[in-house]
């Protein structure tokens, strides 16, 4: 169970306080463990500079904890937003001569198969900033053409004239032999510019994906470095870690050097928090549904495991470092509703964000999803953040009235404010249901075998409708759902991912060769974790292989790394594609090692079966509960609205709901 922060100062009882921070489009969430409890609060985000909201929140925590050392883990959207808005650094790409256009050529595939007019996103590095260097290494690592000092001097002169702010280096087959990339890095060492080397960022084959990934890293380096410097150079002396897209944290130093690993930082924290909540509720197969103010992130976790991918696309650009398998749509509480030129009602992806925000925030007349809920009484007349943030219901009605008028004009008949509000919710639910279908049904999973776990400030308002649309029988509304991403980042372990291309056929003796490569990687990662304070007993090293049938273009990841590897791959291929070609040769493309430093788990607090008297009122026929007063094993009367500091949950009359021992509200709609 979590409690929201009380502003009064309390005695300092701990030398170190762990803090989780998640920056959203509307609010920035803070979670910290103090006096044996998790405490939460939110502050409005500052989109012009997200660091301002974070610094203000951390100063508030420092005052509450009275001089404690703060260990901060941050889920950030800085990298994602910079990619989406194309406001990264002026980046130069150095590559093998003849491969300067690989970023534009790509895989020669249209982004939309049946759209003849589809437009590919422009490369992050324009043609005039892509420089080819005379050198050549073959796929075995043998040097075919040496990189000369004369050639280096020529390239450096070109870079000097380019006004570069960051440099990406991606040479052909550098993953097999990085000697030429190291030469270039040494020649550039005297420059005060960030340099990204592909053999360090992604030592795997596929020159397009590798070049794209290292270019994104360089493109984000100056921005992320400045941002983290502003956060870490404060007088408070906070120690900082940053959440990775793969579900574990890294130091601020590494995040500044390799920002490509943080581009899905916030959503990854949400999945870690969701799995933690699902475990307390006794469920392993979950579909997560994170609806915030600007966007909605969905993911599927079967067997209580994080689902990873090395084939993500962000802002139309491939990113080949490990990321959680998350699908995002532009639908949130701040999504703006409008009537398009054809007379159809549209909701999003444009968002009112934190400023000016929905009409009910009192600074605009933009009709949003949140305003539709206000008009329909889904907040029971209460404000947000436990009443700290008041909602302007009159302004919401005014905004929805204008929308209803436009809907009426388009339809040729009058529309009421309530009809407009219900229409807005119906449209946004359709958009989000499509996203849920994409990560479940379209990938061969039956949603009826899963539990829906909604979180984010708006997740509980839409969960039942979405579960019904997908015939999901059970919903688990976790405690403090509006801050679950912040809880996830502070609960996440320290994670380091390494990979190496090997290109080995599965045959006699391959196990010994794999073991040698894994041992080398593990020794390196074990030293790195020890340097961060994790003894051997606090380390975990998970091995996996990227394998395929010889001749295929893409791989499947399997966790069996010795014994009958081929049989394990056949089984994985059968499960994924519905067939296996058992007579074909299996080829191991790359070995991957995920090294984890285990952090101290957050305390899981059980509720008392009989708590203080429940605080409930009525809003017409609807019961309104204050979640903070609900005891374990309480059976809720429906229809009801469950109010709490970070979110609101809506439960209709034909559903049943109960509170479990850890404060999760379990909703049965079967």
Closest CA to 101 of 208, 174, 219, 214: 208
Residue 5 has pLDDT above 80, yes or no: no
Cα torsion 310, 312, 318, 319: sign: negative
- Mean pLDDT for all residues in the chain: 89
Residue 145 CA: distances (Å) to CA of 138, 256, 274 = 10, 34, 52
pLDDT in the model for residue 576 = 83
C-alpha 431, offset from chain centre = 19
The 10s digit of each residue's pLDDT in 130-156 is 999 999 999 999 999 999 999 999 999
Residue 573 CA: distances (Å) to CA of 480, 508, 582, 586 = 39, 22, 10, 11
The 10s digit of each residue's pLDDT in 276-307 is 999 999 999 999 999 988 889 999 998 888 78
pLDDT in the model for residue 8 = 38
Q: How far apart are the first and last CA of the chain?
A: 27
pLDDT in the model for residue 236 = 58
| Joined tokens for residue 350 | 């444009």
DSSP 311-375: -EEETTEEE-S-EE--EEES-STTEEEEE-TTS-EEEEEEE-TTTT--GGGTS----BHHHHHHH
pLDDT in the model for residue 611 = 58
Residue 413 has pLDDT above 70, yes or no: yes
The 10s digit of each residue's pLDDT in 544-557 is 999 999 999 888 99
The 10s digit of each residue's pLDDT in 307-337 is 888 888 888 889 999 899 898 888 889 999 9
CA–CA separation, 12 vs 366, rounded Å? 45
pLDDT in the model for residue 295 = 84
Alpha carbon dihedral 306, 589, 93, 216, in 10-degree steps, equals -10
Residue 360 has pLDDT above 50, yes or no: yes
Phi (first) and psi of residue 132, to 5 degrees: -95, 135
Q: Contact, 31 vs 18, CB < 8 A?
A: no
Q: Contact, 307 vs 267, CB < 8 A?
A: no
Q: For the ranges 338-342, 345-349, 480-484, 601-605, which has the lowest average pLDDT?
A: 601-605
Residue 73 has pLDDT above 90, yes or no: yes
Q: Contact, 480 vs 487, CB < 8 A?
A: yes
pLDDT exceeding 70 applies to what percent of the chain?
Answer: 97
pLDDT exceeding 90 applies to what percent of the chain?
Answer: 62
SS3 of 238-286: the string is CEEEEECCCCCEEEHHHHHHCHHHHCCHHHHHHHHHHHHHHHHHCCCCE
Range 648-655, long-range pairs (CB < 8 A, 24+ positions) = 648/373, 648/378, 648/379, 648/457, 648/460, 648/461, 649/460, 649/461, 649/463, 649/477, 649/481, 650/378, 650/460, 650/461, 650/463, 650/464, 651/464, 652/464, 655/464
Q: Contact, 44 vs 313, CB < 8 A?
A: no
pLDDT in the model for residue 82 = 87
More confident residue, 468 or 605: 468
Residue 2 has pLDDT above 60, yes or no: no
Residue 186 CA: distances (Å) to CA of 114, 189, 477 = 47, 5, 53
DSSP 166-216: EEEEE-TTTTT--HHHHHHHHHHTTSSS-EEEHHHH--SS-HHHHHHHHHH
Residue 120 has pLDDT above 90, yes or no: no
Sorting pLDDT into bands at 50, 70 and 90, what band is 7?
very low
Residue 75 is inside which H or E element, if any? strand 69-75
Q: Contact, 641 vs 452, CB < 8 A?
A: no
CA–CA separation, 182 vs 179, rounded Å? 5
pLDDT in the model for residue 308 = 83
pLDDT in the model for residue 1 = 41
pLDDT in the model for residue 226 = 92
Sorting pLDDT into bands at 50, 70 and 90, what band is 618?
confident
CA–CA separation, 544 vs 551, rounded Å? 21
Residue 617 has pLDDT above 50, yes or no: yes
Q: Are strands 2-4 and 37-44 parallel, antiparallel or unpaired?
A: parallel
Task: Find all residues with CB under 8 Å of 364, minimum gap 6, and list them.
Answer: 352, 356, 357, 358, 399
Mean pLDDT computed over 586-600 = 93
Task: Find all residues with CB under 8 Å of 629, minimum gap 6, and list them.
Answer: 611, 612, 613, 614, 615, 616
Domains of the chain: residue spans and CATH? 2-82+226-262 (3.30.420.40), 85-221 (3.40.1360), 335-428 (no CATH), 493-597 (3.30.1490)
The 10s digit of each residue's pLDDT in 490-549 is 999 999 999 999 999 998 889 899 999 999 999 999 999 998 889 999 999 999 999 999
Task: Find all residues with CB under 8 Å of 389, minimum gap 6, and list them.
Answer: 383
pLDDT in the model for residue 235 = 53
Q: Contact, 29 vs 39, CB < 8 A?
A: no
Among the ranges 115-129, 384-398, 450-464, 592-606, which has the highest mean pLDDT value?
450-464
Sorting pLDDT into bands at 50, 70 and 90, what band is 612?
low
């Amino acid at each position: 169970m979590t409690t929201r922060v009380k502003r009064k100062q309390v005695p300092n009882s701990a030398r170190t306080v762990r803090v989780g921070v998640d920056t959203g489009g509307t609010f920035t969430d803070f979670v910290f463990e103090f006096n044996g409890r998790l405490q939460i609060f939110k502050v409005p985000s500052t989109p012009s500079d997200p660091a301002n909201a974070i610094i203000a929140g951390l100063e508030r925590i420092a005052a509450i904890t009275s001089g404690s050392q703060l260990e901060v883990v941050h889920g950030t959207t800085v990298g994602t937003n910079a990619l989406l808005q194309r406001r990264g650094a002026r980046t130069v790409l150095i590559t093998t001569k003849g491969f300067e256009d690989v970023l534009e050529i790509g895989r020669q595939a249209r982004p939309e198969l049946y759209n003849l007019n589809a437009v590919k996103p422009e490369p992050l590095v324009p043609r005039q900033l892509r420089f080819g260097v005379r050198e050549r290494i073959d796929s075995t690592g043998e040097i075919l053409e040496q990189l000369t000092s004369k050639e280096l001097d020529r390239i450096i002169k070109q870079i000097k004239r380019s006004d570069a702010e960051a440099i990406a280096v991606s040479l052909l087959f550098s993953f097999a032999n990085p000697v030429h990339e190291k030469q270039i890095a040494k020649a550039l060492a005297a420059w005060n510019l960030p340099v990204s080397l592909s053999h360090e960022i992604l030592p795997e084959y596929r020159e397009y994906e590798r070049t794209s990934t290292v270019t994104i890293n360089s493109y984000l380096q100056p921005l992320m470095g400045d941002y983290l410097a502003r956060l870490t150079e404060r007088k408070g002396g906070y120690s900082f870690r940053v959440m990775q897209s793969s579900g574990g944290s890294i130091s601020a130093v590494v995040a500044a050097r390799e920002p490509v690993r943080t581009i899905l930082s916030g959503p990854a924290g949400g999945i870690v928090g969701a799995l933690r909540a699902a475990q307390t509720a006794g469920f392993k197969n979950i579909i997560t549904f994170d609806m915030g103010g600007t966007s909605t992130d969905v993911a599927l976790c079967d067997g209580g495991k994080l689902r990873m991918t090395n084939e993500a696309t962000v802002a139309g650009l491939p990113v080949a470092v490990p990321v959680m398998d998350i699908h995002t749509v532009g639908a949130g509480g701040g999504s703006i509703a409008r009537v398009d030129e054809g007379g159809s009602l549209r909701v999003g992806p444009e968002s009112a964000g934190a400023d000016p925000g929905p009409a009910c925030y009192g600074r605009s007349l933009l009709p949003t999803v949140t305003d539709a809920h206000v008009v329909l009484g889904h907040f029971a007349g209460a404000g947000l953040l436990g009443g700290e943030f008041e909602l302007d219901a009159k302004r919401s009605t005014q905004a929805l009235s204008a929308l209803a008028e436009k809907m009426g004009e388009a339809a040729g008949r009058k529309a009421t404010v309530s009809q407009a509000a219900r229409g807005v919710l119906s449209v946004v639910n359709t958009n989000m249901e499509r996203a849920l279908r994409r990560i479940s049904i379209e990938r061969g999973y039956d949603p009826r075998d899963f539990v829906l776990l909604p979180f984010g400030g708006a997740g509980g308002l839409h969960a039942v409708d979405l579960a019904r649309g997908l015939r999901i029988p059970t919903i688990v509304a976790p405690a403090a759902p509006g801050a679950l991403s912040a809880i996830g980042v502070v609960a996440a372990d320290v994670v380091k991912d390494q990979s190496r291309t090997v290109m080995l056929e599965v045959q006699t003796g391959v196990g010994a060769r794999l073991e040698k490569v894994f041992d080398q990687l593990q020794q390196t990662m074990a030293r790195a974790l020890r340097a961060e304070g994790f003894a051997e007993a606090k380390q975990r090293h998970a091995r996996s292989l990227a394998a395929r049938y010889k001749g295929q273009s893409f791989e499947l990841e399997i966790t069996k790394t010795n014994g009958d590897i081929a049989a394990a791959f056949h089984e994985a291929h059968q499960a994924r594609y519905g067939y296996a070609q058992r007579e074909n040769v299996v080829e191991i493309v790359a070995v991957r090692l995920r090294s984890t430093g285990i952090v101290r788990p957050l305390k899981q607090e059980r509720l008392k079966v009989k708590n203080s008297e429940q605080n409930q009122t009525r809003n017409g026929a609807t019961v309104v509960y204050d979640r903070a007063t609900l005891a374990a094993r309480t059976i809720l009367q429906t229809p009801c609205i469950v109010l709490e500091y970070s979110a609101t949950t809506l439960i209709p009359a034909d559903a049943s709901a109960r509170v479990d021992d850890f404060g999760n509200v379990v909703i049965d709609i079967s």
